[in-house]
DNA sequence: CAAATTTACTGAACAGTGTTTAGTAAACAA
DNA sequence: TTGTTTACTAAACACTGTTCAGTAAATTTG
């Protein structure tokens, strides 16, 4: 009975095909200007076909959101090689900013847009990707505590605080709310602020 | 020649009428589910009429965004009465969080959605509301420096850092990315984080 | 192998969206 | 009173996400 397996394979292939087209369009022209019909055009299938593989647009963008988390985790993976735990946390911050600036649409999908979270909600599942990356941050902080860099023991609260700062910084930038600075100064200001924040956590966490 | 003045008044009235309807619908059913046709229905005019008073949807939501800033500034106005400059800055933070939690749609409009900023961009004006409220934050920080609470003299960088943290905290919450905590714990965690952050800036800024 | 059934897909429709335009009726100016 | 401007709208355009009846091919059954 290899037929069922082949059909399952073909189904996965089709899901990939759709996802690849969706990603392409999404990344090159943004979420708002990407329609199911556009995606259907690219893969040369009818729009209705997409609904045989993804329940709705939210599910489709949830799948992309998962991919995005995979990419972020990949970019943070080589972090374990850094010995000093504080340096590691700082490098984690650098890469988080880099990821957000280089992949604004993916960042939006991961941490701002409703669509993926709505997809989760109506299947009432937990936000595993979020949990996992938040876990990584907590781990990095725990290591700093163990190494004696941080005294504060409530790692969860420390993690929220650090993540809030990081998310705020990049999303103010991504959503064009840094227009009080010249365009060419914005990234510089972010760097300056990041340096200040690292000093803050080093001295008081 | 009182006719021209009356017409101008009528024009303003109509803009108000549209804006009130838009605000009502927007606040009770969200941005995504509010259409020009819905607004037209409420005020009992044709959809096309709205376009005689607002260039497009972006302009309409820019007007609401301005209102929202007025409301935030109002909520922060009675702050000047607080004598101690550090206590004042902290209270400012409290009220910022309160505003965001109580007016999630307005907060979205002010700091996350593209629409209002796009309206600005295509008229190439500066983001005055943003500048003004950022100015208020800088003022509050300057007062803390003057009073000897803060040593750090780069107020602009301090302001970005504090605002980033505040914005991150509330927008993670508003965009439902705090699901790693039970629903009833989320606001508590935010408070705990805020307390930690106040300690951080008190000790190192 | 032929017939019956399942699977994969699509055209067309539904109910909406933002926006534009041609045309109309009322208000105003001459 | 005539001519012109103003305020408004019906209808259309080009879209959107989503559903569903119908079709043709693939697969299973007799």
pLDDT higher than threshold 60 for residue A1: no
Q: Which long-range contacts (CB under 8 A, 24 or more apart) does B51-59 make?
A: B53/B11, B53/B14, B53/B15, B53/B18, B54/B15, B54/B18, B56/B119, B57/B115, B58/B115, B58/B116, B58/B118, B58/B119, B58/B122, B59/B119
Do B96 and B29 share a domain, yes or no? no
Do A200 and A137 share a domain, yes or no? yes
Give residue A125's pLDDT: 94
Per-chain mean pLDDT for chain A: 95
pLDDT higher than threshold 90 for residue A96: yes
Do B162 and B77 share a domain, yes or no? yes
Where residue A153 falls among pLDDT bands split at 50, 70, 90? confident
In a domain, B156, yes or no: yes
Strands (E), chain B: none
- Is A190 exposed, middle or buried, given 0-12, 13-18 or 19+ CB atoms closer than 10 A? buried
Contact between chains at B175 and A205 (C-beta distance less than 8 A): no
Mean pLDDT of A166-171: 98
Do B49 and B86 share a domain, yes or no? no
Report the CATH number that the domain containing residue B81 is assigned in CATH: 1.10.357
User: Percent of chain B at pLDDT above 70?
Assistant: 99
Residues 6+ apart with CB under 8 A from A174: A100, A101, A104, A107, A108
Do A175 and A111 share a domain, yes or no? yes
Residue-wise DSSP of B170-187: HHHHHTT--TTS-HHHHH
Give residue B51's pLDDT: 98
In a domain, B62, yes or no: no
Mean pLDDT of B141-159: 94
Tell me which of A16, A35, A54 is where a domain ends: A54
In a domain, B32, yes or no: yes
Which stretches of chain A sit within 8 Å of chain B by CB?
A: 111-114, 117, 126-127, 130-131, 134, 152, 154, 156-158, 160-161, 163-169, 171-172, 175-177, 179-180, 189-190, 192-193, 196-197, 199-201, 203-205
Residue-wise DSSP of chain A: -HHHHHHHHHHHHHHHHHHHHHHHHHHHH-STT--HHHHHHHHTS-HHHHTTTSSSHHHHHHHHHHHHHHHHHHHHHGGGG--SHHHHHHHHHHHHHHHHHH-HHHHHHHHT-SHHHHHHHTTT---HHHHHHHHHHHHHHHHHHHTTS-----HHHHHHHHHHHHHHHHHHHHTT--TTS-HHHHHHHHHHHHHHHHHHHHHH-
Question: Which of B165, B171, B189 faces A157 most closely, judged by CB atoms?
Answer: B189
Distance CA B170, CA B165 (A): 9
Residue numbers in A near B165 (CB within 8 A): 161, 164-165, 168
Do A115 and A169 share a domain, yes or no? yes
Mean pLDDT of A139-157: 94
Distance CA A65, CA B19 (A): 35
Do B14 and B77 share a domain, yes or no? no
Give the torsion sign (CA, A161, A163, A169, A171). negative
Tell me which of A29, A54, A79 is where a domain ends: A54
Q: How many domains does chain A have?
A: 2
Tell me which of A32, A54, A76 is where a domain ends: A54
Report the CATH number that the domain containing residue B49 is assigned in CATH: 1.10.10.60
The boundaries of the domain holding residue B143 are 68-108+125-204
In a domain, B63, yes or no: no
Counting one residue from chain A and one from chain B, the pairs whose CB atoms sit within 8 A come to: 127
In a domain, B45, yes or no: yes
Contact between chains at B193 and A160 (C-beta distance less than 8 A): yes
Where residue B155 falls among pLDDT bands split at 50, 70, 90? very high
Do A151 and A139 share a domain, yes or no? yes
Mean pLDDT of B122-148: 96
pLDDT higher than threshold 60 for residue A90: yes
Mean pLDDT of A68-72: 98
Q: What is the pLDDT of residues A27-65, one digit of tens each?
A: 999 999 999 999 999 999 999 999 999 999 999 999 999
Do A159 and A176 share a domain, yes or no? yes
Do A118 and A156 share a domain, yes or no? yes
| Angle at the Cα of A170 from the Cα atoms of A164 and A172, rounded to 5 degrees | 90
Do A35 and A80 share a domain, yes or no? no
In a domain, B183, yes or no: yes
Do A70 and A139 share a domain, yes or no? yes
pLDDT higher than threshold 80 for residue B176: yes
Q: How far is B72 from chain A (nearest CA, A)?
A: 16
Per-chain mean pLDDT for chain B: 95
pLDDT higher than threshold 60 for residue A70: yes
DSSP 8-state class, residue B35: -
Where residue B48 falls among pLDDT bands split at 50, 70, 90? very high
């Amino acid at each position: 009975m290899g037929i069922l397996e082949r059909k399952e394979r073909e189904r996965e292939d089709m899901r990939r095909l759709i996802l690849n087209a969706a990603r392409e369009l999404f990344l090159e022209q943004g979420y708002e200007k990407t329609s199911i019909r556009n995606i259907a055009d690219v893969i040369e299938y009818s729009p209705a076909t997409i609904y045989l593989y993804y329940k709705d647009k939210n599910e489709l963008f949830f799948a992309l959101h998962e991919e995005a988390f995979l990419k972020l985790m990949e970019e943070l993976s080589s972090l374990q090689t850094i010995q000093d735990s504080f340096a590691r946390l700082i490098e984690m911050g650098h890469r988080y900013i880099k990821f957000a600036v280089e992949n604004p649409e993916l960042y939006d999908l991961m941490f701002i847009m409703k669509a993926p979270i709505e997809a989760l909600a109506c299947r009432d599942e937990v936000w595993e990707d979020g949990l996992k990356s938040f876990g990584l941050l907590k781990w990095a902080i725990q290591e700093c505590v163990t190494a004696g860099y941080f005294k504060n023991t409530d790692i969860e609260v420390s993690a929220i605080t650090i993540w809030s700062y990081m998310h705020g910084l990049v999303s103010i930038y991504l959503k064009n709310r840094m227009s009080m600075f010249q365009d060419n100064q914005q990234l510089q200001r972010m760097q300056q602020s990041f340096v200040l924040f690292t000093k803050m956590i080093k001295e008081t966490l």
